Structures are given as C-alpha cells and as structure tokens.
Structure 1
Amino acid sequence: MATLSDVAARVGVSKATVSRALSRPDLVAPATVARVREAADELNFAVNRAASGLVTGRTGVIAIVVPDLDNHFFTPIVVGAQRRAATRQRQLTIAANPLQTHEDVRDLERLARQVDGLILAAPLGPDDHVRQICRTRPVVLVDREVAGVRSVSADAANGFGNLARHLLDGGHRTLVYLGGPAGSWQDAQRTRAIAERTTGRAELVVLGPMPPTFAAGAAAADDVLAAGASAVIPYASQIGLGLVFALRARGVLPDDLVVTTESVISTAIGDTRTPTIDVDGSELGTAAMDLLIEELDAAGETPVRTMRLPMQVTLPLD
C-alpha cells in the first residue's frame, strides 16, 4: 500500500507538502496540488482520515442531513454535494433526520461531533433546533433560511411569482395553489409570491397544507374541481401528478385546466403547452458544499452568507 512518503518521492516534494496539498490545497500552489493528486491516483494512495484527524482535529468528513429518504427532491442535492466534496478531498456521509423533536436534535448533535460540518435540509424543524445544531459544528442550510445561519436556497418567490404572472397574462382568472407541508419555509415563500401576483387580478384558492406526495395530490381532486379553477400550481410536482392522475381516472379532467409541472415530466410526455418550473438540486448541493468548505477552511470568522439561486421557469411555445 502506498504511503505519504511514496507520493512525496514521486513528486519530489516533502511529506508536509503532500499532506497540505491533499488536506488544505488552498495553501499550496495549484500546479503542485495537481502533481500530488496525479501521483496519489497513480499510486492508489488514500488519505488516512483517522490519522489526519488526530493531528489536525479534522475528520475530512462532512454530513448531509435530509428529513427522509423518500422525497426525490433531495437526491440531486446529495449528488451535487458529493461531487463537489470529492473534488475538495472530503468524504460525504448521508443521514436522515427531520430535526422536529428533541430526540432528533440529540441524535444530530451526536452525529455532528463526528464530522467537520453539516449541510442541513430541515424544512420543518423549528428555528431553535437549527440554531442548537449550529452551536455544535459549522452548518449550511439548504432550501431554507434562518436568521444568522449560512444558507443556499431556491429563489421560490421570484420563480413561483413569475409562473403565476404568466398564467394571469394568459387570461386565467381563478388559480389554485396546492400548498406544501405545514410550517415549511419554502411553502410560505411560494404562497406569498403567488398571492402578491394575483391580488387585484384574479381569485386565488389555496388548498393545504399537504405533504409533497402523489397521494396528497390525488386526494385534492374534488376540492380543485369545486374551486372552478383554470390553472393549478402545485407546491411539488408529485402533488401535481397525483391530481392529474385522479382527475383523468374519473374522466373529468377539463382540456383547459393547466397543472404546472417540472420540465423533465413535460419533456417525457411531449407536452409543450404546460408551463414548467425547476429547481436545480445539483446546483444547490454544490453551492452548499462550497459555502461550508469556505467556512471550514477560513483562518478566522467569515460573514454569514445567504444565497438564493434562480428557479427556471419555462413557458409554453406559442
């Protein structure tokens, strides 16, 4: 098995330089870092994280925490974070924890003590629970904002607001918004944005709260029909799919009822008439990892940064 000395001899530098190039590449010339990594790959050298941690107090491991493993929204976020971690010589571990109960907080505190930092997706956890975890390790929130905590989120206010405006410009005068889970920060952003766009222009019927599931959308079919809407904006595409399935199963889906969706769905079925709205989950995960590593690698305190990434709204072809 290759050692640090083997890599150093291959590159022609000291063991200390190799160690810095692999653990703190920002402190080493980029050309040297590239040579060290190339040599490490050729020799199949793997950093001993446990040994490094005894010296530096760092494990080289970052945890990404999602509320559950059933919601596919979080999958590309994990993928983006994992890819970025690999380029920065970090390992990523994944945990499921909704951070809603005091037991959840205790469990996450135990995990936090075993890693360098956390990327935390906690859409329903109380703000105080988030802040308590932040006192344990550096944290970056994903798709939510809490005052005083670093975060990366999708700019739902602009995205959903623009979607609603397009529907209104197209002549829709009664809109239904199928809301997300109770207490969700993103649901509040989306509800507010749609309400601001419809005020004085159209009637808005808000149904929910509801979980972001196919079953919840199907269960809302009767209420959507009763509202007499010509357009529906679901909190999540799974809700919209459930609604469309339930209406079509009854044979009552009107031709003029628009249910917005994600572009991957409209593309799969060849639908060019339905407005779509997308969150780039991979970009969220990548940005969150960059923000966390920036904090971990900083020599001193860094300012708390709040990033909002744009949502992609695609309008129908004329």
Structure 2
Amino acid sequence: MPVTIRDVARASGVHISTVSRTFSAPHLVNPETRVRVLACAEDLGYRPNRAARALITGRTHNIGLIIADIANPFFPPLIKAAESQARHRDYHVFVADTNEDAAAEEELVHALAKQVDGVLLCSPRMSNSLIEQLSREVPLVVVNRQLAGLPCVLMDVGQGARTAIEHLVGLGHRQIALLGGPRGSWTSREIRRAASAAARTAGAE
C-alpha cells in the first residue's frame, strides 16, 4: 500500500495538517517539528501528491519556459540552468519552442497559464503591449527583452558589440559588416544600435 499523509502524521506524532504545512508552507512549521516530519516522510518513502498540494496552496510548482528557437545554440544552456535552479526549489519546468512565431508564443502562454505558477519568455517576438496584457493572466519574467514594469533578465549585449567594434578598429579595419539576428529581436536591435554608435565614434563604417 502506498504511504499516505496519515502514516507520516502517525509516525511523527503530529496532526495531518502539520504534515501538510510541512510540505506546502514549511515556514509556518516549527523547525524541530519540520525536521522530524521530513525525516519520517523520508524513512517511510512518502511523496506528497502534487495535484492535491496544488488544490490546497494554489501553487502547481510548475514553470513554463517558452523559447524562440530550440535549435539556436544560445538556448540549451539557458534551459539546463533554468531546470537546475527549479529542481533545487522543488519546481518542474515545461519547455516549449515557438519557432520565432509571435502567434505561437501567445497561444502557449494562454495554454500554460492555468498549469504553471509563472512563465519565462525567452527572446519573445510578441509586441510589448501584448506581453503586458498577458502578464495580467499569469506572472511573466522576460529574458532578452526590456519592458517597463515587468521583471526582465538582460545581458549587456551592447557592451559586447562595442568591444568587438573597438577590437576590429584597433586592428586597422574601417569597413565593418554586422550580421544580425531577426529584426523583431530586442537583442539584435540592441547589438545593431551599440555597434553603429561605436563604429561612428571610431570613424568606421
């Protein structure tokens, strides 16, 4: 027979509600009691029912990770890092690829909204206004895109572009070509802007 929450409560000498709180809201449980309950649960092989816990806490412990193109070598390390951090916090990550399609992004956010606690949008192709609208449906964190009022994770791609231009100019080059990404990409736009400004400052074309 599978081990139940009642078995853990009986073994640890606490009420069922205390066991429930130990897994759903551990900060509300006395530290010594929490340690005892977790030890008993481990000894008995108890694993909390995620679906039942979600009904009690309103949290699924799932996160949606929507990326623009899984074939792009930039994204696999990001996926691995997100999954590693989520696992340490007892979360699961659902990964979805949109193939650079803004309509697919919107559809996926709607589909995931009731199944996850939040969504990470990586290099989204949707408009700012649509992203802001969707953020009222589900908590969003945007990667590689800057939107006022929303949490964003950004790299200083402008500094990278400036460094590259300065290096080429230092080698004596004056005619420099930039091969950028999609024009709808915030990252590509920032790289073009910074590279153009650095080239003008350095007297390059």
TM range, smaller chain? 0.7 to 0.9
Asked if 2 retains the 8 angstrom alpha-carbon contact of 1:99 and 1:129, the reply is no
Structure 1 residue ranges without an equivalent (≥5):
205-318
Q: Which moved more, 1:105-114 or 1:49-58?
A: 105-114
2:166 corresponding residue in structure 1? 165
Displacement of 1:180: 0.8
In the TM superposition, residue 130 of structure 1 has moved relative to its aligned partner by 1.3
Per the alignment, residue 100 of structure 1 pairs with 102
Alpha-carbon distance in structure 1 between the residues aligned to 2:171 and 2:11: 66
Aligned partners of 2:38, 2:173: CA distance in 1, in Å? 57
Higher normalized strand content (fraction of residues): 1
- The Cα offsets for residues 114-169 of structure 1, whole Å up to 9 and x where unpaired, read as 22111111432221221222111111011211222111121111222223223333
Q: Is there any run of 5+ residues in structure 2 with no aligned partner, and where?
A: none
Instruction: For 2:197 and 2:128, locate their aligned partners in 1 and report how far apart those are by CA, in whole Å.
Output: 26
Match of 1:119 in 2: 120
Residue 132 of structure 2 is matched in structure 1 by: 131
Q: More relative contact order in 1 or in 2 (CA 8 Å, sep 6+)?
A: 1
Matching residue's letter, 1:168: V
TM-score, normalization: structure 2?
Answer: 0.82
Give the AA of the match of 1:139: L
Which residue in the other structure is 2:141 paired with?
Answer: 140
Q: 1:76 to 1:170 in 2, by over 3 A?
A: same
User: What is aligned with 1:181?
Assistant: 182
Question: Is residue 174–residue 202 contact of structure 1 (8 Å, CA) maintained in 2?
Answer: no
What is the number of equivalent residue pairs in this alignment?
Answer: 203
SS at match of 1:64: strand
Give the CA RMSD over aligned residues: 2.8
> Does residue 54 of structure 1 match 2:55?
yes
Aligned match of 2:85: 84
Q: Are the structure 2 counterparts of residues 80 and 23 from structure 1 closer, same or farther at C-alpha, using a change threshold of 3 Å?
A: farther
Which residue matches 1:203? 204
| TM-score calculated relative to the size of structure 1 | 0.55
Residue 47 of structure 1 deviates from its aligned partner by: 2.3
Find the aligned partners of 2:176 and 2:34 in 1 and give their Cα distance. Answer: 55
- Within 1, Cα distance between the matches of 2:18 and 2:112? 31
Q: Partners in 1 of 2:32 and 2:199 — Cα distance?
A: 55
Alpha carbons of structure 1 residues 179 and 4: separation in structure 2 relative to 1, 3 Å: same
Which AA in structure 1 matches 2:192? T
- Give 1:156's aligned residue: 157
The yes-or-no answer on 1:2 pairing with 2:25 is no
Change (3 A) 1:155 1:129: same
SS at match of 2:201: coil
